[in-house]
Amino acid sequence: MNVVVWNENRHEKLNPKVTEIYPEGIHGAIASFLREEGHDVTTATLDQPEHGLTEQVLAEADVLLWWGHLAHDEVDETIVERVHQRVLDGMGLIVLHSGHFSKIFKKLMGTGCDLKWREANDRERLWVVDPSHPIVAGLDTYFELEKEEMYGEHFDIPAPDELVFISWFEGGEVFRSGATYRRGKGKVFYFRPGHETYPTYHHEQIQKVIKNAVAWTASLGAPTHQYGNVEPIEEISVKE
Ligand code: ZN
């Protein structure tokens, strides 16, 4: 499977604390544990030509992961349109944490995608609310992150096709932290945790969820329908 991990890669350059947690960048950390699954994993970042997402890179990608925060506005509309079309054509897309405000996620959702937030070292408890879903394979009924940024409801998204996780935070809020959508032939998974100043992507259960999500969002071998005006398959009898 061809997996591309996209990261804006700005916090890593601006904040030594983030560099200390993720010396290879958030994209490097995610790519590293996905390679353990035997996938062919490459990374792409905002400052590369075409943000590293050329026609060829996207054409070959089965799944794209997206982490962005500071620089959503710097993502070129042409690239957003290109990613959008690939999702409709069947590429899986996993949108992580502050990617809720990325152009591509908002375009796919069609809503404001806003939420409440707080950086106060809340404990986060992620409850599995769809125990039959492939994304939660191998997990317990819940798992915890000792410290995370809080995201709280209301989260302005369309009703998910499947709600996989609900998070509880120490300060009292809850959040739909794992949600799936079908768009065209593509599958989309939004997964909340992953604030840059916490070691969230080194957490065993987080890695398990992302590995499962890569397998689930890939639509390998799906049929391609032709749209528009078509000739009949059967001969149509002449009617009076
Ligand atoms: Zn954050």
Using the mean position of ligand 1's atoms as its centre, give its distance from the Cα of residue 20 in Å. Answer: 17
For the segment 105-160, what is each residue's pLDDT rounded down to a tens digit? Answer: 999 999 999 999 999 999 999 999 999 999 999 999 999 999 999 999 999 999 99
Q: Which two three-digit tokens encode residue 236? A: 């149509």
- Please tell me the distance from the alpha carbon of residue 58 to that of residue 56, in angstroms, as a whole number: 5
Q: Is residue 99 part of a domain?
A: yes
Using the mean position of ligand 1's atoms as its centre, give its distance from the Cα of residue 18 in Å. Answer: 12
Using the mean position of ligand 1's atoms as its centre, give its distance from the Cα of residue 200 in Å. Answer: 11
The answer to whether 48 touches 6, Cβ cutoff 8 Å, is no
Using the mean position of ligand 1's atoms as its centre, give its distance from the Cα of residue 232 in Å. Answer: 53
Closest CA to 11 of 207, 203, 198: 198
Using the mean position of ligand 1's atoms as its centre, give its distance from the Cα of residue 97 in Å. Answer: 6
Using the mean position of ligand 1's atoms as its centre, give its distance from the Cα of residue 47 in Å. Answer: 20
Q: Is residue 7 part of a domain?
A: yes
Q: Is residue 238 part of a domain?
A: no
Q: Is residue 101 part of a domain?
A: yes
Closest CA to 5 of 24, 27, 37, 26: 27
Show the beta-strand stretches assigned E in 129-210. Answer: 142-152, 162-169, 174-183, 186-191
| Mean of the per-residue pLDDT values of the chain | 97
For the segment 54-89, what is each residue's pLDDT rounded down to a tens digit? Answer: 999 999 999 999 999 999 999 999 999 999 999 999
Closest CA to 100 of 195, 213, 228: 195
Using the mean position of ligand 1's atoms as its centre, give its distance from the Cα of residue 69 in Å. Answer: 7
Task: Please give the residue range of the domain that contains residue 98.
Answer: 2-112+178-217
> CA 13 → CA 10, 53, 79, 198, 211, distances in Å?
5, 21, 23, 16, 27
Using the mean position of ligand 1's atoms as its centre, give its distance from the Cα of residue 61 in Å. Answer: 26
Using the mean position of ligand 1's atoms as its centre, give its distance from the Cα of residue 112 in Å. Answer: 17
Q: Is residue 158 part of a domain?
A: no
Q: Residue type at 226?
A: Q
Q: Is residue 161 part of a domain?
A: no
Using the mean position of ligand 1's atoms as its centre, give its distance from the Cα of residue 117 in Å. Answer: 8
Q: What is the DSSP letter of 32?
A: H
Residue 240 has pLDDT above 80, yes or no: no
Using the mean position of ligand 1's atoms as its centre, give its distance from the Cα of residue 226 in Å. Answer: 41
Using the mean position of ligand 1's atoms as its centre, give its distance from the Cα of residue 207 in Å. Answer: 18
Confidence (pTM): 0.97
Q: Is residue 31 part of a domain?
A: yes
Please count the structural domains in the chain.
1
Q: Is residue 229 part of a domain?
A: no
- Please tell me the distance from the alpha carbon of residue 33 to that of residue 65, in angstroms, as a whole number: 13
For the segment 180-189, what is each residue's pLDDT rounded down to a tens digit? Answer: 999 999 999 9
CATH number at residue 82: 3.40.50.880
